[in-house]
């Protein structure tokens, strides 16, 4: 053999001689079984390591002078903000925000690799880039192929770190869907919805939770998105999350996501009923977050029409809602009153359900105590809706001693509440029986309505004029009993300056108001003494 | 001045014990009195053709043992001792050894070959004995066959003994030329040809350069392939062994030869004698090993790359390779599953098929399915078994999506076969296959498990029933249950196993009591299955798991009470104790992790502890390890309540720490000290003097396995955290120890990965010790005592940082220590830290690190330092 010209520069790769014994071991190997002790030891070592770290970090934090030394925890997603249907933003996390575009390229390569560690690392980085508002890299990340890859990673398979990757990928998508509509569209176009729905079957609660969050964000986007989620079985899967084994954090997320889905009309009544069945159970929850989102869901459903309201009533939810009006947290009370306000706008029978549930015992408290304006506003609107109901319903308002309260609010309340109070008074006076009107006048309704005649809201003005008309009609009836033969209510109006305001309305640029004003002036004041000019619709019972 | 040792050597092999002992004692004395003379006498004895062969062989053996030992420390000592002998003695011994080659006695030659290789192993790396190879090669042209053979044998041994780097390429070329010539078909003596072929096996590692030269490589490959066709079976076997070695050493050079090798191997597998056929199959298994590694690299390395590209040999050979392997499956031996040492063509073929499946994945499925379908119901048990084994073999590799539809169809058949097939061998393989199904197609990680709520009950019924079958079948059924349970690990409280827990435990305990439970490893498998079921159980089944405790305790009690056992019985007893302690450990850990069960569990703590203490009375290493692990688990669960057991337990703790021989016990015990520190906190104080004394002793010992030392340093940290400023009195001992270890590890140059890993473990241990001590002293009036050490700690970190070989764990620990220095010592070290510029850089560097844990540590360190500097 000739001598070799090239001496070997690198140490040769020694043959890995697999001795026959090693091969024999591989025969019908049940690998783990034969190695129990070493495995148990390894488990204990792992436990030991983490406890040692716990002890140390506890000490490191143990320092009153430096409360800020506790590192920002890099844990799972924080709860979404509860203002559905707007999408939620996860909190900004410590992040490699300084990564520049070239770094991004590396991340994207990692994402596309076939190696799960690299995928995971890259996904975490992307998720963090996305979690910082206004990160210039975010736009670069949200390209269709990155998103498509993230969507692919949602179905990571057999690997111990697979679930972790699923969580991270879903988290990244959650962050994207928290952004503008066009970002969410990239995600839905990449086919994320069916895969996220599939994740709801995962045995791991963290995976399910993150998938729900992403779906919740998507559902918040548009009716089309909600239908997309529902069409892929998202609603059914979501409802199955509510079981006795579920963790509170999962229930919270599921409830939030459900509420977002309820924001639009559900495709079928049977779905609505199934949802309501769950919501009815959730209304007994003691968790404020769950309660709040449940009530939001109900309030959205009540927004969709009388059919939905009827189903809400039939699922025995009204009574529970009314009870929750007295809940200590405004986060619960707000959606509750919104839901009830919607019901109060429905038909008379449905409104009667509200009254029977005892709402009138609660509303005065809402109106008089220190609640947020929007709660008071909705409460007041509920009252005004009830006032627009039957005489029996108006009577219930009177019996609940709410009229003086309304009058008070109509004078001193904040603008919106003031208006609602006036609406309530106008409705009650327009629809009340003569006796009820007398009672209402006795409480000061004429002044309240007359003061409202300076407002610029045409609908409300018209309602006030209607109310005053009813009052004046009853006044005509009084006139007959009155020896002086005057309409006492017309007199009252003059005394409080109402007539002047009425006359001013002749200049109001609205035909209906103009005509109503002229009619009132002509009927009750113009050409005083002329008996011929008696009101055209004098029948007092004609209500 | 050779001594007369013949008689002693003969007597040392006498059947009479007294004679033997006396002779051994005398030899030992001579060795101690005059080592050079003793070694000279031995070499002279070996070389002397007039001496009896028995004394010559023993002389050679003792000589060999004077040069080499398995244990690394001893090996180094012996090498040093040889090197320090005077030159004349060494030369004389070596000359005698080379002379022995011409001896007509083959045993003498062969013994001398081995001794020469050992001397070469010591001397060549030191550039001594440069003439060895030359003088060996000068023999190669001798006419006498036996000298030629001995020379080739020696060359082989030398190659096995020394690193390729220490031999010049020029000499390598000459060795290879001699060896390959000896293998050539033109060599008439088959003894010479066999010796040459075996020598090539060892010399392949030297042939790196030659394998890059096409002409030389072609030549070597041709000679090896020709040798596989020799008429001598031993030569054929040795030649295939060379092919196997080449397949892993020179995988990337094989492409031009693969077609020929396939033909050669497939002929050998089908027609040749078993030892040859086994090597031919091994060639393909070895190619699979290579390709699996490369493909793993493609998937996992950061570069997504591998040093060696994949040539996809298996993929290309697949259509021919798979049928060849399937044929081998039909060559089972009766009762091979009961025979632990069995290894035959069917077993090797199936193992290879499994590797092929892992290499190519989905592609293997359509090639194997027809074989399975054709044979699985045949009346001949061999066919049914082969079909089942083929099925089980391909379950790891192909995607679950590809396999699930097949498995869904096959599952019922398998269950029926396991309960009803008349043949044990078939049932054994069926139970194993079921286990593989559960391992690879069931569990949280698999998208759609083949196990459903519905078939789970049926599966369990069959598995539990099979546990009453013959031991080898029952053992496989236990293994299958193990994987079934493991698949439900993350299932929360809805595991379908829940309703069957009672039945499962009852059956597994029944199995452990079978009279034949020691056969086929059955008892161990039953306990491992039990442990896995417990480990993967959930809160819901905690009460049933709790019921196991008195049962296991009773069994353990019976083993400690047993009296007067034969040594055989004693050994079985030890095994059983080990298994029971392991089982207790798993149960304790489970009960401790479930808040509701912890309290109920504690009622058993006294009794368990009592039993474990009795177990420590046993002198068996395995049992001690298991019992220590159980104690560790118990300490975590008991917390400060463990204090009451300390007075009795302490002696065993100390015993464990002193066990240098069985260093795993020592390591586990060191870990348990840490567990106790966290459980007892300052209640461990009374025992600390003893523990610290022992730990310090361990650190200074060079007998203790080095792997125990890093955990001991970590343990210092655990102790300091537990006892706080009370650690002060140990500072004067512990700190210098830490400092010198730090010095050593900071400057360590790591030649290989193993050394690098150890260095990093050591650094991490040292840093954990510093962190524990610093944090332990925090807010104590005695923090001043630490100030003098701060400079050294900083310097340690600076040096490591400069060396750039820290792994992530070390980096994180180092950041922690920087923060701890500032946190505990505050303004005392502010200026020092400010000066440590590299530490500042380290923190800055880590602030933008990818690993969030490292960033966190960096942020914390920065904050602590800022406070210290400004405050």
- B669 part of contact set with chain A, CB < 8 Å: no
pLDDT tens track for B310-324: 999 999 999 999 999
- What pLDDT does residue B270 have? 95
Question: Could you give the CA distance from residue B634 to residue B643 in angstroms, rounded to a whole number?
Answer: 12
Q: Tell me if A33 and B529 make a contact (CB, 8 A cut-off).
A: yes
Nearest to B852 among A74, A155, A204 (CB): A74
- B820 part of contact set with chain A, CB < 8 Å: yes
**Which of A9, A30, A58, A249 to substitute to test the interface with B, most B CBs within 10 Å?**
A30
B residues 269-288 closer than 8 Å to A (CB): 278, 282, 285-286
List of chain A residues whose C-beta atoms are within 8 Å of the C-beta of residue B630: none
- For residue B647, is pLDDT > 80? yes
List of chain B residues whose C-beta atoms are within 8 Å of the C-beta of residue A100: none
Nearest to B205 among A15, A52, A163 (CB): A15
Residue of higher predicted confidence among A110 and B292: B292
Neighbour-count burial of A254, counting CB atoms closer than 10 A to its CB (0-12 exposed, 13-18 middle, 19+ buried) = buried
Lowest mean pLDDT among A95-99, A179-183, B53-57, B654-658: A95-99
Long-range contacts of A264-267 (CB under 8 A, 24+ apart): A264/A223, A264/A226, A264/A227, A264/A300, A265/A223, A265/A304, A265/A305, A265/A308, A266/A230, A266/A235, A266/A301, A267/A227, A267/A230
Residue A239 · residue A276 · CB < 8 Å: no
What is the maximal distance between C-alpha atoms in chain B? 89
List of chain A residues whose C-beta atoms are within 8 Å of the C-beta of residue B302: 118
- What pLDDT does residue B652 have? 93
Residue among B735, B736, B698, B743 at smallest CA distance from B717: B735
List of chain B residues whose C-beta atoms are within 8 Å of the C-beta of residue A48: 632, 671, 674-675
Nearest to A15 among B245, B633, B857 (CB): B245
What is the maximal distance between C-alpha atoms in chain A? 145
Q: Tell me if B859 and A12 make a contact (CB, 8 A cut-off).
A: no
At residue A72, φ and ψ (nearest 5 deg) are -55, 120
In sequence order, what are the residues at sequence separation of 6 or more whose Cβ sits closer than 8 angstroms to the Cβ of residue B556? B577, B580, B581, B584, B611, B615
Q: Tell me if B446 and A113 make a contact (CB, 8 A cut-off).
A: no
List of chain B residues whose C-beta atoms are within 8 Å of the C-beta of residue A103: none
- What pLDDT does residue A222 have? 86
Q: Tell me what the pLDDT averaged over chain B comes to.
A: 90
Instruction: Please tell me the number of Cα atoms within 13 Å of B456 on its side-chain side.
Output: 21
Mean pLDDT calculated for residue range B646-652: 94
List of chain A residues whose C-beta atoms are within 8 Å of the C-beta of residue B678: 51-52, 55
Mean pLDDT calculated for residue range B419-429: 95
Mean pLDDT calculated for residue range A82-90: 36
Q: Alpha helix (H) ranges present in A91-178?
A: 101-112, 116-131, 136-141, 144-153, 162-177
pLDDT tens track for A356-402: 888 988 888 888 887 778 888 889 889 988 988 888 899 999 988 88
Question: Could you give the CA distance from residue A420 to residue B223 in angstroms, rounded to a whole number?
Answer: 104
Question: Could you give the CA distance from residue A263 to residue A272 in angstroms, rounded to a whole number?
Answer: 12
Q: Tell me if B445 and A72 make a contact (CB, 8 A cut-off).
A: no
CA distance A7 to chain B (A): 6
Question: Could you give the CA distance from residue B157 to residue B175 in angstroms, rounded to a whole number?
Answer: 12
CA distance A140 to chain B (A): 20
Residue B439 · residue A156 · CB < 8 Å: no
Q: Tell me if A7 and B493 make a contact (CB, 8 A cut-off).
A: no
- B161 part of contact set with chain A, CB < 8 Å: no
CA distance A87 to chain B (A): 27
- For residue B764, is pLDDT > 90? yes
Residue B750 binned pLDDT confidence (cut-offs 50, 70, 90): low
- What pLDDT does residue B624 have? 87
- Which chain B residue shows the shortest CA-CA distance from A70? B860
- Two structure tokens written together for B242: 């060379």
Quickly count: other Cβ atoms within 10 Å of residue B425's Cβ. Answer: 23
- Two structure tokens written together for B504: 């499962």
Quickly count: other Cβ atoms within 10 Å of residue B89's Cβ. Answer: 16
Nearest to A7 among B169, B216, B633 (CB): B169
In sequence order, what are the residues at sequence separation of 6 or more whose Cβ sits closer than 8 angstroms to the Cβ of residue A516? A462, A465, A466, A469
Q: Which of A97-101, A115-119, A416-420, B153-157 has the highest mean pLDDT?
A: B153-157
- What pLDDT does residue A33 have? 53
- For residue B443, is pLDDT > 60? yes
pLDDT tens track for A466-506: 899 989 888 888 877 767 778 888 888 888 888 888 888 88
Q: Could you tell me what percent of chain B has a pLDDT over 90?
A: 65
B residues 321-360 closer than 8 Å to A (CB): 337, 343, 347-348, 350-351, 354
CA distance B835 to chain A (A): 23
Neighbour-count burial of A531, counting CB atoms closer than 10 A to its CB (0-12 exposed, 13-18 middle, 19+ buried) = exposed
- What pLDDT does residue A76 have? 31
Instruction: Please tell me the number of Cα atoms within 13 Å of A483 on its side-chain side.
Output: 0
Residue among B324, B381, B372 at smallest CA distance from B348: B324
CA distance A94 to chain B (A): 8
Residue A535 · residue A524 · CB < 8 Å: yes
Give Cα B825 to chain centroid, integer Å. Answer: 44
pLDDT tens track for B201-211: 999 999 999 99
Q: Tell me if A40 and B582 make a contact (CB, 8 A cut-off).
A: yes
- For residue A305, is pLDDT > 60? yes
- Which chain A residue shows the shortest CA-CA distance from B300? A115
List of chain B residues whose C-beta atoms are within 8 Å of the C-beta of residue A30: 432, 435, 476, 479, 482-483, 525
Residue A532 binned pLDDT confidence (cut-offs 50, 70, 90): very low
- What pLDDT does residue A457 have? 82
- B453 part of contact set with chain A, CB < 8 Å: no
DSSP for B343-355, please give it.
--HHHHHHHHHHH
Q: Tell me if B852 and A69 make a contact (CB, 8 A cut-off).
A: no
Q: Tell me if A8 and B209 make a contact (CB, 8 A cut-off).
A: yes
List of chain B residues whose C-beta atoms are within 8 Å of the C-beta of residue A162: 445
List of chain B residues whose C-beta atoms are within 8 Å of the C-beta of residue A11: 164-165
The torsion region of residue A444 among left (phi > 0), alpha (psi -120 to 50) and beta comes to left
Lowest mean pLDDT among A242-246, A307-311, B574-578: A242-246
- Which chain A residue shows the shortest CA-CA distance from B209? A8
Question: Could you give the CA distance from residue A343 to residue B53 in angstroms, rounded to a whole number?
Answer: 111
Mean pLDDT calculated for residue range B772-794: 91
List of chain B residues whose C-beta atoms are within 8 Å of the C-beta of residue A127: none
Mean pLDDT calculated for residue range B626-640: 92
Q: Tell me if B286 and A2 make a contact (CB, 8 A cut-off).
A: no
Question: Could you give the CA distance from residue B294 to residue B311 in angstroms, rounded to a whole number?
Answer: 10
List of chain B residues whose C-beta atoms are within 8 Å of the C-beta of residue A47: 589, 636
- B589 part of contact set with chain A, CB < 8 Å: yes
Question: Could you give the CA distance from residue A177 to residue B356 in angstroms, rounded to a whole number?
Answer: 44
- For residue A65, is pLDDT > 50? no
List of chain A residues whose C-beta atoms are within 8 Å of the C-beta of residue B204: 15
pLDDT tens track for B686-721: 999 999 999 999 999 888 888 999 999 999 999 999
CA distance A10 to chain B (A): 9
Q: Tell me if A18 and B282 make a contact (CB, 8 A cut-off).
A: yes
Nearest to B629 among A28, A41, A96 (CB): A41
Cα separations in angstroms, B750 against B163, B197, B756, B799: 18, 36, 5, 15
- What pLDDT does residue B444 have? 75
- What pLDDT does residue B2 have? 56
Residue with tokens 């020896």: A483
List of chain B residues whose C-beta atoms are within 8 Å of the C-beta of residue A42: none
List of chain B residues whose C-beta atoms are within 8 Å of the C-beta of residue A20: 278, 282, 343
- Which chain B residue shows the shortest CA-CA distance from A35? B528
């Amino acid at each position: 053999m000739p001598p070799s010209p090239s001496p070997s520069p690198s140490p040769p790769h020694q043959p890995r001689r697999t001795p026959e014994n090693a091969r024999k071991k591989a025969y019908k190997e049940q690998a783990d079984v034969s190695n129990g002790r070493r495995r148990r030891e390894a488990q204990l070592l792992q436990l030991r390591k983490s406890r040692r770290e716990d002890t140390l970090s506890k000490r490191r934090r143990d320092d009153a002078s430096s409360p800020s030394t506790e590192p920002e925890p890099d844990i799972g997603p924080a709860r979404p903000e509860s203002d559905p249907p707007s999408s939620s933003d996860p909190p900004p996390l410590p992040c490699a925000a300084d990564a520049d575009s070239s770094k991004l390229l590396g991340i994207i390569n990692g994402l596309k690799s076939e190696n799960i560690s690299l995928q995971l690392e890259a996904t975490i980085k992307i998720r963090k880039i996305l979690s910082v508002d206004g990160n210039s890299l975010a736009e670069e990340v949200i390209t269709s192929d990155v998103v498509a890859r993230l969507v692919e990673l949602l179905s990571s398979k057999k690997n111990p770190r697979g679930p972790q990757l699923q969580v991270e990928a879903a988290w990244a998508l959650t962050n994207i869907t928290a952004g503008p509509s066009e970002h969410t569209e990239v995600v839905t176009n990449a086919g994320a919805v069916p895969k996220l729905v599939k994740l709801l079957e995962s045995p791991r609660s963290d995976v399910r939770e993150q998938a729900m969050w992403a779906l919740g964000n998507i559902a918040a986007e548009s009716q089309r998105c909600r239908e997309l989620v529902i069409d892929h079985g998202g609603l059914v899967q979501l409802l199955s999350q509510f079981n006795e084994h579920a963790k509170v954090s999962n229930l919270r997320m599921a409830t939030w996501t459900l509420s977002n889905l309820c924001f639009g009309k559900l495709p079928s009544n049977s779905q609505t009923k199934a949802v309501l069945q769950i919501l009815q159970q959730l209304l007994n929850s003691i968790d404020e977050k769950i309660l709040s989102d449940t009530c939001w869901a109900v309030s959205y459903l009540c927004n969709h029409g009388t059919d939905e309201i009827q189903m809400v009533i039939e699922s025995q939810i009204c009574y529970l809602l009314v009870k929750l009006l007295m809940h200590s947290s405004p986060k619960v009370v707000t959606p509750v009153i919104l839901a009830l306000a919607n019901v109060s706008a429905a038909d008379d029978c449905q409104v009667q359900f509200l009254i029977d549930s005892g709402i009138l015992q609660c509303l005065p408290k809402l109106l008089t105590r220190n609640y947020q304006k929007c709660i008071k506003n909705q409460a007041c609107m509920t009252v005004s809706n009830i006032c627009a109901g039957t005489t029996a319903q108006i009577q219930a308002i009177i019996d609940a001693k709410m009229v003086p309260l309304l009058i008070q609010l109509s004078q001193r309340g904040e603008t919106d509440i003031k208006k609602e109070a006036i609406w309530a008074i106008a409705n009650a006076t327009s629809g009340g029986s003569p006796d009820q009107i007398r009672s209402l006048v006795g409480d000061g309704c004429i002044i309240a309505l007359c003061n409202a005649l300076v407002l610029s809201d045409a609908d409300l003005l018209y309602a006030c004029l209607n109310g005053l008309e009813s009052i004046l009609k009853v006044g005509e009836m009084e006139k007959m009993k009155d020896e002086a033969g005057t309409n006492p209510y017309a007199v009252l109006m003059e005394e409080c300056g109402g007539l002047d305001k009425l006359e001013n309305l002749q200049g109001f640029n609205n035909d209906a108001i103009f005509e109503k004003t002229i009619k009132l002036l002509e009927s009750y004041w113009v050409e005083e003494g002329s008996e011929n000019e008696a009101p055209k619709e004098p029948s007092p019972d004609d209500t | 001045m050779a001594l007369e040792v013949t008689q002693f050597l003969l007597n040392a092999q006498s059947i009479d014990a007294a004679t033997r002992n006396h002779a051994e004692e005398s030899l030992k004395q001579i060795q101690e009195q005059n080592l050079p003379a003793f070694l000279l006498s031995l070499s002279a004895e070996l070389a002397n053709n007039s001496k009896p062969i028995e004394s010559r062989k023993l002389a050679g053996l003792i000589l060999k043992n004077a040069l080499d030992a398995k244990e690394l420390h001893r090996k180094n000592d012996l090498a040093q001792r040889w090197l320090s002998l005077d030159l004349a003695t060494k030369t004389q011994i070596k000359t005698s050894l080379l002379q022995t080659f011409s001896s007509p006695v083959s045993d003498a030659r062969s013994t001398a070959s081995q001794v020469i290789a050992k001397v070469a192993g010591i001397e060549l790396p030191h550039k001594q004995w440069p003439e060895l190879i030359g003088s060996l090669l000068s023999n190669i042209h001798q006419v006498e066959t036996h000298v030629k053979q001995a020379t080739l044998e020696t060359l082989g041994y030398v190659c096995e003994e020394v690193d390729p780097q220490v031999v010049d390429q020029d000499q390598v070329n000459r060795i290879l030329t001699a060896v390959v010539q000896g293998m050539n078909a033109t060599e008439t003596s088959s003894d010479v040809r066999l010796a040459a072929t075996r020598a090539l096996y060892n010399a392949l590692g030297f042939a790196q350069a030659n394998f890059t030269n096409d002409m030389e490589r072609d030549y070597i490959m041709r000679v090896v392939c020709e040798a596989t066709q020799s008429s001598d079976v031993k030569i054929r076997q040795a030649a295939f062994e060379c092919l196997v070695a080449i397949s892993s050493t020179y995988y990337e050079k094989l492409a031009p030869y693969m077609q020929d090798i396939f033909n050669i191997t497939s002929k050998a597998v089908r027609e040749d004698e078993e030892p040859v056929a086994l090597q031919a199959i091994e060639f393909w298994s070895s190619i699979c090993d290579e390709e699996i590694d490369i493909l793993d690299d493609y998937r996992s390395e950061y570069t997504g790359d591998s040093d060696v590209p994949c040539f996809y040999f298996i993929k290309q050979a697949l259509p021919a390779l798979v049928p060849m392997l399937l044929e081998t499956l039909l060559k089972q031996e009766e009762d091979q599953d009961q025979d632990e040492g069995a290894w035959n063509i069917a077993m090797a073929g199936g193992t290879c098929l499994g590797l092929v499946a892992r290499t190519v994945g989905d592609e293997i499925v359509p090639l194997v399915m027809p074989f399975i379908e054709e044979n699985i119901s045949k009346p001949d048990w061999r066919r049914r078994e082969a079909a089942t084994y083929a099925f089980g073999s391909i379950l790891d590799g192909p995607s679950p999506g590809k396999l699930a539809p097949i498995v869904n169809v096959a599952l019922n058949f398998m269950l029926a076969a396991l309960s009803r097939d008349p043949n044990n061998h078939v049932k054994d393989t069926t139970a194993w296959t079921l286990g593989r199904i559960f391992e690879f197609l069931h569990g949280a990680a698999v998208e759609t498990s083949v196990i459903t709520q519905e078939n789970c009950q049926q599966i369990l019924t069959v598995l539990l029933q099979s546990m009453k079958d013959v031991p080898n079948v029952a053992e496989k059924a236990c293994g299958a249950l193990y994987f079934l349970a493991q698949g439900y690990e993350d299932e929360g409280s809805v595991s379908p196993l829940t309703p069957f827990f009672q039945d499962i435990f009852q059956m597994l305990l029944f199995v452990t009591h079978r009279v034949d439970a020691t056969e086929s490893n059955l008892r161990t498998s039953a306990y491992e299955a039990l442990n896995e079921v417990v480990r993967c159980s959930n809160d819901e089944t905690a009460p049933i798991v709790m019921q196991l405790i008195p049962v296991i305790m009773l069994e353990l009690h019976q083993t400690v009470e047993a009296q007067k056992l034969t040594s055989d019985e004693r050994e079985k007893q030890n095994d059983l104790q080990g298994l029971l302690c392991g089982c207790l450990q798993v149960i304790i850990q489970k009960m401790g992790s479930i808040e509701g069960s912890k309290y109920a569990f504690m009622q058993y703590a006294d009794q368990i502890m009592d039993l474990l203490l009795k177990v420590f009375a046993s002198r068996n290493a395995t049992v001690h390890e298991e019992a220590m692990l159980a104690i560790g688990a118990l300490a975590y669960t008991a917390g400060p309540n463990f204090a009451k057991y300390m007075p009795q337990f302490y002696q065993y703790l100390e015993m464990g720490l002193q066990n240098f021989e069985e260093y795993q016990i020592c390591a586990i015990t060191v870990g348990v000290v840490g567990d106790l520190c966290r459980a007892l906190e300052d209640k461990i104080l009374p025992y600390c003097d003893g523990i610290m004394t022992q730990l310090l002793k361990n650190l200074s010992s060079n007998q203790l396995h080095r792997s125990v030392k890093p955990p001991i340093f970590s343990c210092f940290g655990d102790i300091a955290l537990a006892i706080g400023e009370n650690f002060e009195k140990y500072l004067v001992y512990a700190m210098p120890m830490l400092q010198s270890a730090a010095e050593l590890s900071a400057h360590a140059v790591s030649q290989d990965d193993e050394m690098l890993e150890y260095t990093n473990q050591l650094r991490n241990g040292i840093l954990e010790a510093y962190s524990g001590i610093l944090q332990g002293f925090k807010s104590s009036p005695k923090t001043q005592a630490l100030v003098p050490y701060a400079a050294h700690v900083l310097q340690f970190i600076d040096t490591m940082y400069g060396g750039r070989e820290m792994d992530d764990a070390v980096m994180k620990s180092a950041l922690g220590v920087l923060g701890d220095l500032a946190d505990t010592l505050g303004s005392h070290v502010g200026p020092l830290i400010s000066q440590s510029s590299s530490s500042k850089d380290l923190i800055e560097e880590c602030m933008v690190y990818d690993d969030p844990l490292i960033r966190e540590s960096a942020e914390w360190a920065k904050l602590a330092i800022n406070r210290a500097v400004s405050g």
